[in-house]
Amino acid sequence: MATLIAYTRASTSKQQVSPEYQLREIHQWAERQGHTIAGSFTECVSGTAPMVDRPGWRMLYSPLTRPTAWCAGM
């Protein structure tokens, strides 16, 4: 159906839901829905940090704002 990119985040090393668990859940959901996960971004940053201050979010979002570069595989 769709090719997706997963984004996971943890604010501390003591967080109960680890990025690994989040990624596993995302992959399972995608498989049930018939989607493919093409890649993922994981970062450890506070949930209160603005999106522009999250390196993983910026890396995930930037190809979406440049569709030509995204299609070229950048």
For 36, half-sphere exposure in the C-beta direction (CA atoms, 13 angstrom radius) is 4
CATH number where 56 lies: 3.40.50.1390
Q: Which pTM was predicted?
A: 0.66
Domains of the chain: total: 1
The answer, yes or no, to whether residue 1 has pLDDT greater than 70, is yes
Q: Which domain holds residue 67?
A: 3-71
Which residue shows structure tokens 């979010």?
Answer: 57
Contact yes or no for 44/10 (Cβ under 8 A): yes
2-16 average pLDDT score: 77
pLDDT at position 49, please? 72
| pLDDT tens profile 27-55 | 999 999 999 998 887 887 777 777 777 77
pLDDT at position 34, please? 95
> Which one is predicted more confidently, 34 or 19?
34
